[in-house]
């Protein structure tokens, strides 16, 4: 198993906006006991950047996939690109992929077929998936049941119900909580944090979005995953160190880190 520390299971630090002060961002993360970060990339440029970064720091995993809100911008050679990265063993996961009916209700069938196609690729190359799901709980569940992710995966920044969380877990998924669990009125994520079996939990920042309390409005970054962890530990009435240990095990188990 990898080093014990806070693990940010979803961070977009390959975005252009982070590049000017990235070394300080990493320093701050290490200072806050962050031991590993999953960089989720949305393009070839970002994927290459993330792989390059990992050569320097050795504390990153890289996921690449086509986000359901970005289907119009998938390049013509998109699936070949994705498959080439997988073939070369460069990706730890395919993601983020999934369904988003909040932003797009008019292309549900296309979203579904591109989601399924990417699950098939993940299964073919033996890696987990990272799922983005918004206002599409039932369709996402049906797809995961009928196209089971062989290596499992993560429901990222999970915003669904407790009941559905258990259904996704049955499909091999982990439930990852982000900044919203720290918001005062976010009752549902708090309930999920308490209810889900601890062996199936992960945490994340989804930075630059969804900055945890009390820094809402500021740019999010991996160092802030600690705030998510401390709140989840409080809700579960365990020591943050204990939670850190279990989540490190969960992540190592999912991504087969020795
Ligand atoms: Zn994301």
Q: For 77-118, write each residue's pLDDT tens digit.
A: 999 999 999 999 999 999 999 999 998 889 999 999 999 999
Q: Is residue 48 part of a domain?
A: yes
Q: Which residue has the tokens 């730890």?
A: 92
Is residue 192 in a domain?
Answer: yes
Ligand 1: centre distance to CA 157 (Å): 8
CATH value at residue 102 = 3.20.20.140
Task: Give me the number of domains the chain comprises.
Answer: 1
Collect the ranges in the chain with pLDDT lower than 50. none
Distance (Å) from CA 96 to ligand 1 centroid: 6
- pLDDT value of position 3: 82
Residue 225 Cα to ligand 1 middle (Å): 14
pLDDT, averaged across the chain: 96
- Tell me the residue range of the domain where 167 lies: 6-254
What's the helix, strand, coil split of the chain in %, to 5? 50, 15, 35
DSSP state of 16: G
Distance from the CA of 134 to the center of ligand 1, in angstroms?
12
What pLDDT score was predicted for residue 258? 85
Query: What pLDDT was estimated at residue 121?
Result: 98
Classify 186 as helix, strand or coil.
coil
Residue 223 CA to ligand 1 centre (angstroms): 16
pTM of the model: 0.97
Q: How close is the Cα of 9 to the center of ligand 1, in Å? A: 10
For residue 38, the CA-to-ligand 1 centroid distance in Å is 10
Residue 40 CA to ligand 1 centre (angstroms):
6
- Specify the 3-state DSSP secondary structure of 66: coil
- Among the listed residues 218, 168, 216, 176, the one whose alpha carbon sits nearest the alpha carbon of residue 193: 176
Give me ligand 1 centre to Cα 12, in Å. 6
Element (H, E) at 225: helix 225-236
In the reported structure, the alpha carbon of residue 242 is separated from the centroid of ligand 1 by a whole-number distance in angstroms of 26
Q: What pLDDT score does 147 carry?
A: 98
Q: What pLDDT does residue 94 have?
A: 98
Whether residue 37 lies inside any domain: the answer is yes
Query: Within a domain: residue 158?
Result: yes
- In sequence order, what are the residues at sequence separation of 6 or more whose Cβ sits closer than 8 angstroms to the Cβ of residue 101? 108, 134, 135, 136, 139
Report CA(120)–ligand 1 centroid distance (Å): 20
* Phi, psi values for residue 66, rounded to 5°: -100, 115
How many A from CA of 41 to the centre of ligand 1? 8
1 belongs to a structural domain: no
Q: What is the pLDDT of residue 2?
A: 75
Rounded distance from Cα 199 to ligand 1 centre (Å): 22
pLDDT confidence of residue 146 = 98
Place of tokens 């949305």: 42
């Amino acid at each position: 198993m990898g080093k014990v520390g806070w693990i940010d299971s979803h961070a977009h630090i390959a975005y252009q906006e982070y590049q000017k002060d990235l070394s300080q961002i990493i320093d701050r993360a290490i200072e806050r006991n962050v031991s590993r970060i999953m960089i989720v990339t949305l393009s070839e440029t970002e994927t290459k950047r993330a792989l390059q970064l990992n050569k320097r720091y050795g504390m990153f995993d890289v996921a690449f996939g086509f986000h359901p809100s970005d289907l119009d911008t998938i390049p013509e050679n998109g699936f070949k690109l994705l498959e080439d990265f997988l073939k070369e063993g460069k990706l730890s996961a395919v993601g983020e992929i999934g369904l988003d009916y909040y932003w797009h209700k008019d292309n549900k069938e296309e979203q579904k077929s591109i989601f399924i196609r990417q699950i098939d690729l993940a299964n073919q190359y033996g890696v987990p998936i990272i799922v983005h799901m918004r206002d599409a709980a039932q369709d996402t569940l049906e797809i995961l049941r009928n196209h089971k992710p062989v290596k499992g995966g993560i429901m990222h920044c999970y915003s669904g119900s407790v009941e559905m969380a258990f259904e996704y877990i049955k499909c091999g998924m982990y439930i990852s909580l982000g900044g919203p669990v720290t918001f005062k009125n976010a009752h549902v994520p708090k309930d999920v944090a308490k209810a889900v079996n601890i062996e199936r939990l992960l945490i994340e920042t989804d930075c630059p979005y969804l900055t945890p309390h009390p820094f809402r409005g500021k740019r999010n970054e991996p160092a802030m995953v600690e705030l998510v962890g401390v709140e989840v530990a409080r809700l579960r009435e365990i020591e943050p160190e204990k939670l850190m240990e279990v989540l490190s095990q969960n992540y190592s188990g999912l991504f087969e880190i020795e």
